[in-house]
Amino acid sequence: MPVDEIELKYLQQIETIAYDDDRMPHSGAIDNKAQALQLTFPWRGNSCTCLFRRMYKVRPIEWYQAIQTARLTAGK
């Protein structure tokens, strides 16, 4: 059961995150190196940033590409 829903038009920022050998996060890895997905959106009057690290069956880059494609399609 979903806790909440986020409409695509409210997503302010979508980033893929990759971690280096020291476990320091780096954003913008638009390839299979992405290990997490970070979304920023307004929620209850504040800007909220969520980091999704454990995404089973679908890799973070696949989520990123699907969300970006949906945003482009919705904008037409």
Residue ranges of the domains in the chain? 8-74
Cβ-in-10-Å burial (0-12, 13-18, 19+) of 1 comes to exposed
| Residue matched to tokens 């893929």 | 16
pLDDT of residue 3: 80
* Spatial distance between the Cα atoms of 17 and 28, rounded to a whole number of angstroms: 6
Radius of gyration of the chain (CA): 13
Amino acid letter at 73? T
Q: Would you state the pLDDT for residue 54?
A: 83
- The pLDDT, as a whole number, for residue 76 is 59
User: What is the number of other CB atoms lying within 10 angstroms of the CB of residue 37?
Assistant: 22
- The one-digit pLDDT tens for each residue of the chain (76 residues) are 888 788 899 999 999 999 999 999 999 877 888 999 999 999 889 999 999 988 778 899 999 999 999 988 887 5
Q: What is the pLDDT of residue 5?
A: 84
